[in-house]
Amino acid sequence: MNTQTSNNHQAPRGDHPERFSSVGFIVAAIGSSVGLGNMWKFPYITGEYGGGAFFLLFIVSLILIGLPILLAEMTIGRGGRGDSATAMFNLTGSKYWRLFGLMSVLCAFVIMSYYTVVAGWTLHYTVESFAGVLFRGGDDFRGKFETFAGSYWPVLWQVVVMAGCAWIIAKGVSGGIERFNKILMPGFLLILLLLMVRSLTLPGAGEGVQFFLWPDFGKLSAESVLVALGHAFFSLSLGMGCMLTYGSYVSRKQSLGVATVAVGIGDLLYAFIAGLVIFPTVFSYGLEPGEGVGLAFMALPAAFAQMPFGSLFGGLFFLLLAIAAVTSAVSIIEVPVAYAMNNWKWSRKKAAYVLSAVCLLFGIPAALSVGGVFGGFQPGGKTLFDWYDFTAAYVLMPLGGLVVSLFTGYAWKRAKEEAGLSGFWNGVWMFLMKLVSPILIVLVFLYSVGII
């Protein structure tokens, strides 16, 4: 077996034949990071774990763990010019690293299988809201959601999302992923700002802002720290080779440091504005700020039902969620697609359509497990949907992040040159990669699986 190390293995030279433009890369990376995690999870956990105090904690987590690993992923991707398995092998010549890389490809597959379920829900709600159907026949939005989730409709919407993603991916990096993100992300920001103005001008909006942002240091606990760290990870799409694969399509001229900071700020800003949309609306209508699914699909429709032009604002809100979900989903499925192209020499089209179809086969049981025909199948007390989420977000992603930090900190000696950091910043980065990130990731992992 070839066990050469980074010092003597020849890394690929030149740019990848498929390439993002400089702006396109940053927009696509922000599109990947801004997703359902920003739109519902971030506002909810912020309100729950200490408001403004948690927000500060999240910023610290982004700086300590998120941005350094983001930079590492982009650097490995560009240096090794491929998906995580290919890039790690190219940079070290070791089959062991290829195996670790393969784990992240698997993780992407699992995430895609359930992320497209929720993306499908958002599309269904967009259509129902714009059409006004959602607001007819009473205001039992919990019942409406349960009836919908328990039917076969989610499968149809999941097929739509999967087919849409495959179509975009099949069109290539610049003609598909970049072009699509460049169209959708500015539209996304526009709708978000419009909804923010609507929400902040509702009577009693201040109470919602207070719930979201009032710094309550008394609520901070060890748990808040771990939640903030875990969320920084998920929110930046780390640990499953997504930013690594996008990084492989970046020109050698692009400053990766600048891209890292831009994506970090973008992710934070979108999450912040999402909170300013959601909570003032919920509080202004005297609703309970529920969690996750409850907040987006049950509490908010009740607010839109009472608001003038509610079906328009509701439709825009769900469209926002749908755009966030789809720009992230595209980046997830690109990971196995890139793997198949690099390792099995499949064409982009074949990889996009075949892998999306296989992913759909895994995803359909998840779509039918939220109250549907597979709802009763709950090994270990979790539905299939919850198992997919747990395995990917709580086990495989932290492990993937750990691999990335150890690879950058210890195995690949030329990371510094590829990242292009100055001596001081490189020292800080290496310290974080070698010591701080691995320790924090292990803590988050142990917490997530219930060991601490």
Our CB check for ligand PFF shows the closer of 78 and 231 to be 231
36 binds ligand PFF (CB under 6 A): yes
Our CB check for ligand PFF shows the closer of 77 and 372 to be 77
Q: How far apart are CA 82 and CA 245, in angstroms?
A: 6
What's 118-144 look like in SS3?
Answer: HHHHHHHHHHHHHCCHHHCCCCCHHHH
Structure tokens at 95: 């089959």
Residues in Cβ contact with 35 at an 8 Å cutoff, skipping those fewer than 6 apart: 115, 235, 237, 324, 325, 327, 328
234 binds ligand PFF (CB under 6 A): yes
403 binds ligand PFF (CB under 6 A): no
46 binds ligand PFF (CB under 6 A): no
Q: What angle do CA 59, 61, 67 make, to 5 degrees?
A: 90
Give the CA distances from residue 16 to residues 19, 182, 203, 251, 393, in Å, rounded to whole numbers and listed in that order: 6, 21, 53, 8, 29
Our CB check for ligand PFF shows the closer of 24 and 241 to be 241
The binder of ligand PFF chosen from 38, 113, 284, 342 (CB under 6 A): 38
235 binds ligand PFF (CB under 6 A): yes
Over the Cα atoms of the chain, what is R_g? 21
φ, ψ at 61 (rounded to 5°): -65, -40
The binder of ligand PFF chosen from 20, 27, 31, 32 (CB under 6 A): 32
The binder of ligand PFF chosen from 29, 119, 242, 351 (CB under 6 A): 242
With contacts defined by CB under 6 A, name the span among 27-35, 48-56, 315-323, 401-409 that binds ligand PFF. 27-35
33 binds ligand PFF (CB under 6 A): yes
The binder of ligand PFF chosen from 94, 224, 237, 284 (CB under 6 A): 237
Q: How far apart are CA 310 and CA 11, in angstroms?
A: 56
Please report, as residue ranges, which positions from 108 to 127 form the binding site for ligand PFF (by CB under 6 A). 111
x/- string (CB under 6 A) for ligand PFF, residues 414-443? ------------------------------
How many Cα atoms occupy the beta-carbon half-sphere of 329 within 13 Å? 33
With contacts defined by CB under 6 A, name the span among 48-56, 82-90, 233-241, 249-257 that binds ligand PFF. 233-241
In contact, 448 and 398? CB cutoff 8 Å: yes
| Burial (CB count <10 Å: 0-12, 13-18, 19+), residue 64 | middle
Q: How far apart are CA 270 and CA 190, in angstroms?
A: 11
Q: Cβ of residue 134: shortest distance to ligand PFF, in angstroms?
A: 23
Q: How far apart are CA 439 and CA 238, in angstroms?
A: 16
The binder of ligand PFF chosen from 24, 35, 275, 363 (CB under 6 A): 35
Q: Cβ of residue 332: shortest distance to ligand PFF, in angstroms?
A: 5
Which residue has tokens 């979900």? 325
Instruction: Please choose, from the candidates 178, 243, 183, 250, the residue with its C-alpha nearest in 3D space to the C-alpha of residue 397.
Output: 243
In contact, 394 and 66? CB cutoff 8 Å: no
Q: Cβ of residue 425: shortest distance to ligand PFF, in angstroms?
A: 25
Q: Cβ of residue 94: shortest distance to ligand PFF, in angstroms?
A: 24
94 binds ligand PFF (CB under 6 A): no
In contact, 429 and 71? CB cutoff 8 Å: yes
Please report, as residue ranges, which positions from 308 to 367 form the binding site for ligand PFF (by CB under 6 A). 328, 331-332
With contacts defined by CB under 6 A, name the span among 33-41, 154-162, 210-218, 374-382 that binds ligand PFF. 33-41
Q: Cβ of residue 244: shortest distance to ligand PFF, in angstroms?
A: 10
For the chain, how many residues are written? 452
Q: Cβ of residue 268: shortest distance to ligand PFF, in angstroms?
A: 12
**What is the binding site for ligand PFF (CB under 6 A)?**
32-33, 35-38, 111, 234-235, 237, 240, 242, 328, 331-332
